[in-house]
């Protein structure tokens, strides 16, 4: 099979990581994955990983982009399209007017509510399979976009390579040394793009409250980036919380970064799945997640689940974990076991191959 993965993402984010796993699964089994992307840093990184990439142009849905997609579908004899964002679905739908090609669309929850106008409902008709990552997303799409929920739906959770994401004490020690953090300094990590719904500011408020009563020095490690980064950085400084900015790490750096954290705290309440949650759990870390979005569904018994809107409770739960190293270690073991048993990357990849085989050319 030849599958075109159409992605308009401007930067490397969780959904790009997931599509790379799908591509790797296809290629290992003798199929072809062709990434069709917007111009930017994403195609360069994909090529460095050895993937086939075509840049379709600006992040628009105009005649030039539609014709470019049509030519790729024709010249590379693509059997099916896998679309990432609403923009990518529109592009695939327009191109399908000139060349019939089955479309799978992976639904991702955004902070911005769906528009729901006639065009979106018409584009939904191009969807041969709607892929959702969790039960929570199934409920969300049925509530917010019933015209999409009416399409054939399949739930395929993300998967994780536990040979890549595994405990790495030496790597964690190296990251801490680079940051000038002595072993006795306790660390809380949040790894996420700075965007609405990710709620790094909420975590900073929880740590501000914790700082006033916690007996040890606590440092917050923030990994991520976006256009909103500079503004948030000014606000975070004013909180008095000790913050170390890690920038936007490449995927290979993540296991060591997770290992540098005593606690990984992911306060985002709009996660369709939560790649960082699964990666940190696979690395054997103690993780705190909100009782909102799909986070608790992914975490199960492998993480501490906190009320999404209660900063005081987050402060207490994080503080309790920081003071209990044996509990953190036991939680990390349970977390890794859950990822190994429930979310292996091979299961995710096999499910996608079965999906594309059902769609057919």
Summarize pLDDT for 198-225 with one digit per residue, the tens: 888 899 999 999 998 998 999 999 988 6
Would residue 143 count as lying in a domain? yes
87 and 11 in one domain? Answer: yes
Q: What pLDDT score was predicted for residue 151?
A: 94
Residue 314's domain comprises: 169-342
Would residue 151 count as lying in a domain? yes
Q: What pLDDT score was predicted for residue 182?
A: 93
Instruction: Tell whether the model's pLDDT for residue 39 goes beyond 80.
Output: no
Alpha carbons 333 and 331: distance in angstroms, whole number = 5
249 and 210 in one domain? Answer: yes
Q: What pLDDT score was predicted for residue 8?
A: 77
Instruction: Tell whether the model's pLDDT for residue 9 goes beyond 80.
Output: no
Is the CB of residue 299 less than 8 Å from the CB of residue 242? no
Q: What is the CATH number of the domain that holds 234?
A: 3.40.50.2000
199 and 123 in one domain? Answer: no
Q: What pLDDT score was predicted for residue 359?
A: 87
324 and 183 in one domain? Answer: yes
Instruction: Tell whether the model's pLDDT for residue 171 goes beyond 90.
Output: yes
Mean pLDDT of 119-148: 90
Would residue 246 count as lying in a domain? yes
Please tell me the total count of domains within the chain. Answer: 2
Would residue 295 count as lying in a domain? yes
**Order of all β-strands in the sheet with 127-132:** 52-57, 32-38, 2-7, 80-83, 103-106, 127-132, 153-155
200 and 112 in one domain? Answer: no
**Cα 293 from chain centroid (whole Å):** 13
Would residue 164 count as lying in a domain? no
Would residue 268 count as lying in a domain? yes
Alpha carbons 281 and 340: distance in angstroms, whole number = 10
Is the CB of residue 286 less than 8 Å from the CB of residue 321? yes
Structure-block tokens of residue 68 = 């470019």
Would residue 10 count as lying in a domain? yes
Alpha carbons 307 and 317: distance in angstroms, whole number = 10
The CB density around residue 203, as the number of other CB atoms within 10 Å, is: 27
| pLDDT band at 342; cut points 50, 70, 90 | very high
DSSP 300: G
337 and 351 in one domain? Answer: no
192 and 149 in one domain? Answer: no
Would residue 83 count as lying in a domain? yes
* Nearest-5° Cα angle at 152, 150 to 155: 110
55 and 144 in one domain? Answer: yes
316 and 351 in one domain? Answer: no
Mean pLDDT of 176-186: 94
190 and 118 in one domain? Answer: no
17 and 39 in one domain? Answer: yes
Mean pLDDT of 296-317: 95
| pLDDT band at 269; cut points 50, 70, 90 | confident
Mean pLDDT of 178-188: 94
Residue-averaged pLDDT of the chain: 88
- Whole-structure pTM value: 0.90
302 and 187 in one domain? Answer: yes
């Amino acid at each position: 099979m030849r599958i075109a993965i159409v992605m308009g993402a401007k930067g490397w984010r969780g959904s790009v990581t997931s599509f790379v796993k799908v591509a790797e699964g296809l290629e290992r089994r003798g199929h072809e994955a062709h990434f069709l992307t917007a111009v930017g840093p994403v195609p360069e990184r994909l090529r460095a990983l050895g993937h086939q990439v075509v840049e379709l142009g600006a992040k628009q849905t105009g005649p030039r982009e539609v014709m470019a997609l049509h030519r790729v579908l024709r010249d590379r004899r693509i059997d099916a399209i896998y679309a990432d964002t609403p923009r990518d679905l529109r592009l695939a739908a327009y191109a399908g007017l000139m060349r019939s090609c089955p479309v799978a669309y992976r639904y991702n929850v955004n902070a911005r509510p769906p528009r729901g106008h006639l065009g979106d409902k018409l584009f939904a008709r191009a969807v041969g399979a709607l892929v959702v990552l969790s039960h929570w997303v199934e409920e969300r799409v049925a509530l917010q976009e019933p015209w999409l929920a009416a399409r054939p739906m399949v739930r395929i959770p993300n998967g994780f390579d536990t040979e890549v994401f595994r405990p790495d004490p030496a790597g964690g020690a190296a990251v801490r040394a680079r940051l000038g953090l002595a072993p006795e300094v306790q660390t809380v990590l949040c790894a996420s793009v700075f965007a609405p719904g990710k709620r790094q500011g909420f975590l900073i408020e929880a740590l501000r409250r914790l700082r006033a009563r916690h007996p040890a020095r606590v440092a917050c490690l923030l990994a991520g980036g976006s256009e909103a980064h500079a503004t948030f950085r000014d606000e975070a400084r004013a909180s008095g919380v000790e913050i170390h900015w890690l920038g936007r790490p490449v995927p290979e750096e993540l296991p060591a970064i997770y290992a540098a954290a005593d606690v990984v705290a992911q306060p985002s309440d709009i996660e369709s799945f939560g790649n960082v949650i699964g990666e940190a759990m696979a690395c054997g870390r103690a993780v705190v997640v909100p009782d909102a979005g799909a986070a608790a569904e992914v975490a199960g018994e492998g993480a501490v689940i906190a009320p999404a809107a209660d900063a005081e409770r987050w402060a207490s739960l994080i503080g309790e974990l920081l003071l209990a190293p044996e509990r953190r270690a036991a939680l990390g073991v349970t977390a890794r076991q859950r990822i190994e048993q429930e979310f292996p990357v091979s299961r995710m990849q096999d499910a996608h191959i079965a999906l594309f085989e059902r769609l057919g050319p």
